[in-house]
Structures are given as C-alpha cells and as structure tokens.
Structure 1
Amino acid sequence: MQILLANAKIMYDKSGLKPWTEPQFQSVANRLAMDMAGMDIDTLERELDCSRKLAAENWERYQHFFTAEKMPAIMAYNGQAYKHLVASTLGEEALVFAQRHLWITCFLYGLLRPMDGVVPYRMEHCVHLPSADGKPVNQFWRDKLTDVLIDSVKADDGVLLHLSTEEYEHLFDWKRVCGEVNVVHPLFYVRQKNGMLKMQAVWAKSCRGAMVRHVLLHHITSPADLHSFSYEGFEYAPCLGEERWPHFVRDNRETLL
C-alpha cells in the first residue's frame, strides 16, 4: 500500500536528522527555484498570494535555496497534519517503512519520499514560471508525476491510501489514477448534537497525520487494517461509507486540539 500525504506551508528552518536521499525531481525543483529567486518581493507577494512579510521571508529563502541546510521532508513541515504525525519521535524502523510506502505531495518538488532532503520554501499551485512552460505549476507537474505514482502503486499491491487533499489531486491525472489503482480515501467526521455528520478541516488534517503515524508504526499494508485506527475519539464506523471511503466518526465534545 502506497500513501499520499500533502506537504504544509509552515516549515522548520532545520532538523536534527540528516536526509537519506535526494528528491526524484530535484533538477526540476532547482529550475523552478531559480525562477522564484529571480522575482522581486512585490512579484512574490502577488504570485504566492501572501503577506509582504511572508514574501520577503521567501525571497530570502530562494536566494539561499542552493546553499541552505537540507532536512528530511517528513521532518521539515509543521502544519496541522505533521503536528499529529510527530515524525521526530518515529524510530528508524518506522522511517524505513515510510521511505518505501509514503509519498509527500508538493508544488515545488512534485513528489517526495519522507527522507528526501529539502530546504525551506513556499510554493502555490497557481504560480506561473518560465521553467513550467508558463503553466500553473500544478498543471506542469501532471505529466511528470502521474505515471510515477501509478507505477509505484502497481509495483506494491495496487492500493493507494489517499491522505493528501483535493488541491493536490491536480498534480496528477486523477481520473487515470482512480481508474488504474485502488484509491482508498478515509473521511473524518464529527457527529453534531443533532446527529448530523460534519467534516471539520482542523480535525481532518489532524487525523490524516495521526493515521499516517498509525500506519508507519504498525506497518499496515491492508486497507482493512486501517479499521483499527482510533484517535481523539475518532473511531471506524462500519455502518457508514463504502470500502473505498471508510468513515471515522467522533462524537462532538469540547476537547481542544
């Protein structure tokens, strides 16, 4: 079973663990980064649709892209999913398993194995760059990544555990992916006081990270074994959803993340 997890916009500046491998598309990322380094702060603010402070921070990052200290991708991100993945506490056995089974999606490096070396950056799906043939970067990556993902899943057992987000599906010909491999897409819901189910973004991100951790620690390779996952009140609900969309439900409580 191969796993997809999205990257995060918030990144650490360094990690205590050294990377093991180089990203498969490092040369492509280098070209995109050079284009970004050639932009001024005003252009970065517009292209990244961010504050001027963040634009200035990322201008500085891209100026030092080729000399910055590299860190393992799984240790580099600090978004909600990664706070609950807690990669820094994973042992070597879990990291070795992750290196064989986990893909991290992102708009600069395309696809990353967790121990691939990356540097701090920010990239958005809609950025247009000369090295991306003038296309938005998500469309630019599609022809490069689709076969890589499909081939890796087929070389495993034909199952893709989709814990990334809809935004990153655009990196691939997603219709082809769903047609050629078995995509299992867990959904996480909070049951409201009126009994209705509601998906809450913060909880969904938290559960995606926690489920990746669960898979890595227990070396899970079968979708059926995902049913053992439970986290912060979320439990598998066998009477809901379908085989490819397993539902995990939490009763509404006042527990804070």
Structure 2
Amino acid sequence: GITERFPATLDEAQIDYAQDHLRMLSGLYGLLRPLDLMRPYRLEMGTHWAPRRKKLTDWWGDRVAVALTEDLAASGSDIVLNLASQEYWAAVDGRLPGDVRIVAVDFREGADARFVSFHAKQARGAMARWVVEHRIEDVASLRGFDTDGYRFDAEASSDAQLRFVR
C-alpha cells in the first residue's frame, strides 16, 4: 500500500493526487489504488494455478483492463503511464480500448544502455513517487524525471516509450 511506497513524506494533496491517478497491479487483488486496504502477500502475476496451470494473467482476463478503463473514463484521461514490469503488464496488454494512449518507460544502465531488472524496479517506483510529488499531468513533463541519476534519452525514446539512462 501507500505507506510502504510513500511513507509520511507526502502532503495530503499529493496523497489525494496519488489516489486519483496511481493504480497498481496485483496478482491477488487485481487493480489497486494507493489507499486500498489489503493483507500482505507474495503472489506474482506470472504464477501458474493448478489444475489448469494457467497464469494469473489468464485468470484475471479482461477484468483488470476493464477496471483501468473505467478509472480512465472517470478521470477524463486517455493516457496510461506504464511503470509495470512485463510480467504484470501482461494482465492489461492488448486489452485496453484502442483510443487509450499507453506510454511505457524503459530504464537502462551505463554507456551500453543495458537492462538491469533490480535497478529498473527501483526506478519504476522512484518515477511513480516523482510523478505524484510533481503532480504530472502530461507526457512531455515526464522527460524532466532525474531521480537517482537517470536522464531522459531523446534519441532512444518514441511517443510510445520513454527511455531513461544513468
């Protein structure tokens, strides 16, 4: 929940912004808002369930995407900033309406721009916090993200994917 990712360093307006704009994907609970109550658990979205050995993404089907689409409609936005790992994004990928603009973020390391899963996970959380702190409302403003030494790489970015390298 929000107390783990955003300890008591956000003001009330920032917490309200997070509640209105931030959604988290959960293998157990589906789509969560920051203040939703839940019990601690460890269950990855890619987990296979017996007896059919289907992944949780198959079990969730369109339900997560439908909930996200409803939240987008209520907010008046048509943009999803995808900070999820590929494993979790699979629960939504290809299931959102065609008019939804998805902007993925890619975090890379070093001169060779290599992908390091552990660092990417930390960077996704740092960007989520940065978006909340700055109350970002447009894609162009995301280019200003510079936490933990990351810098926007315009040459490696596109309208659908923003790359940050440190």
Output the CA distance in 2 between the equivalents of 1:178 and 1:234: 31
Question: Compared with structure 1, are the counterparts of its residues 198 and 110 closer, same or farther at alpha carbon in structure 2 (3 Å cutoff)?
Answer: same
- Cα deviation, residue 245, structure 1: 0.8
Structure 1 runs not aligned, ≥5 long: 1-72, 77-81, 251-257
TM-score of the two chains, using structure 1 as the length reference: 0.58
Tell me the amino acid that sits aligned with residue 146 of structure 2: S
Output the CA distance in 1 between the equivalents of 2:153 and 2:48: 40
Match of 2:3 in 1: 75
1:95 partnered with 2:11? no
Q: How many residues align?
A: 164
Structure 2 runs not aligned, ≥5 long: none
Q: Equivalences for 1:1-257 in 2 at 5 Å?
A: 73-76=1-4, 82=5, 86-124=6-44, 125-128=46-49, 135-155=54-74, 156-172=76-92, 174-177=93-96, 179-192=98-111, 196-250=112-166
Question: Compared with structure 1, are the counterparts of its residues 246 and 135 closer, same or farther at alpha carbon in structure 2 (3 Å cutoff)?
Answer: closer
Quote the RMSD (CA, aligned, Å). 2.1
Output the CA distance in 2 between the equivalents of 1:200 and 1:128: 28
SS in 2 for 1:221: coil
- Cα deviation, residue 190, structure 1: 1.5
Match of 1:47 in 2: none
Question: Compared with structure 1, are the counterparts of its residues 249 and 134 closer, same or farther at alpha carbon in structure 2 (3 Å cutoff)?
Answer: closer
SS in 2 for 1:160: strand
TM-score of the two chains, using structure 2 as the length reference: 0.87
Larger relative contact order (CA 8 Å, sep ≥ 6): 1
Q: Sequence identity of aligned pairs in percent?
A: 32
- Cα deviation, residue 120, structure 1: 1.4
- 8 A Cα contact 2:151 2:164, kept in partner: yes
Larger radius of gyration: 1
- Cα deviation, residue 109, structure 1: 0.6
Output the CA distance in 2 between the equivalents of 1:134 and 1:202: 27
Extract structure 1 runs of 4+ deviating beyond 6 A. Answer: none
- 8 A Cα contact 1:154 1:181, kept in partner: no
